[in-house]
Amino acid sequence: MKQREGQPAGLAGEIGKKRPFDCPEQEAFLNIVRTADVLSADFARLFRAQGLSMSLYNALRIVAGVGAGGIPVRTIADRMIVREPDITRLVDRLEQRGLVRRCRSEADRRVVRVHITAEGAALVAALHDPVRDLHRRQLGRLPRRSLLHLNELLVAVRQAARPEP
């Protein structure tokens, strides 16, 4: 985005902020949120065309990635990129569409395992290239070294944000 004459640079200019941020931490947080929103919008459009949300796609990818043995519902919740408060309802929606099926574990009847269906696997396969291409379109102009550094920084931010045990 081009900076307009007389406007502050960076995020402050994008959002029309006249006064400085309270602290660099505030600006960094808001930059992360703004960037996630911008990047997510393209993915939301891609998935919406397939009748999916980003969360549904994320859960479907997790199930597809574990193979024939399936995965417990609780583990899907733990692996989600964005935490979902009602993972059961999310799995319900995937099951209603015929993308996954549920089975009680033989070893422990309390555990419900989720398995990908042929239709679910086909949808994940059909989305593989468009998702990869979108990642490359959005971030491919950054040098590889910058992407690696960005990934390191974001991991460090998440680690620093977690409460100490």
Residue 47 within any structural domain of the chain: yes
Give 56's contacts (C-beta < 8 A, 6+ positions apart): 47, 90, 93, 94
14-37 b/e with 16+ CB inside 10 Å = b? beeeeeebeeeeebeebeeeeeee
Q: Report the CATH number that the domain containing residue 154 is assigned in CATH.
A: 1.10.10.10
> What percentage of the chain reaches a pLDDT higher than 90?
75
pLDDT for res 98? 97
Higher pLDDT, 154 or 12: 154
DSSP 16-70: T--SPPS-HHHHHHHHHHHHHHHHHHHHHHHHHTTT--HHHHHHHHHHHHH-TT-
Determine how many CB atoms are found less than 10 A away from the CB of residue 92. Answer: 13
Continuous segment of H or E residues that includes residue 113: strand 112-116
Residue 4 within any structural domain of the chain: no
pLDDT for res 3? 46
The pLDDT tens digits for 18-47 are: 888 999 999 999 999 999 999 999 999 999
Residue 148 within any structural domain of the chain: yes
Residue 91 within any structural domain of the chain: yes
pLDDT for res 8? 66
Lowest mean pLDDT among 3-7, 36-40, 41-45, 61-65: 3-7
Number of domains in the chain: 1
The pLDDT tens digits for 124-148 are: 999 999 999 999 999 999 999 999 9
Residue 23 within any structural domain of the chain: no
* Region 84-100 average pLDDT: 95
Give the DSSP letter of residue 154.
H
Phi, psi of 140 (to 5 degrees): -65, -15
pLDDT for res 6? 55
Residue 97 within any structural domain of the chain: yes
Residue 12 within any structural domain of the chain: no
| Domain encompassing residue 97 | 39-158
Q: At what angle do helices 54-66 and 24-48 cross, to 10 degrees?
A: 80
pLDDT for res 7? 56
Per-residue pLDDT at 119 exceeds 90: yes
Residue 124 within any structural domain of the chain: yes
Q: At what angle do helices 144-161 and 24-48 cross, to 10 degrees?
A: 110
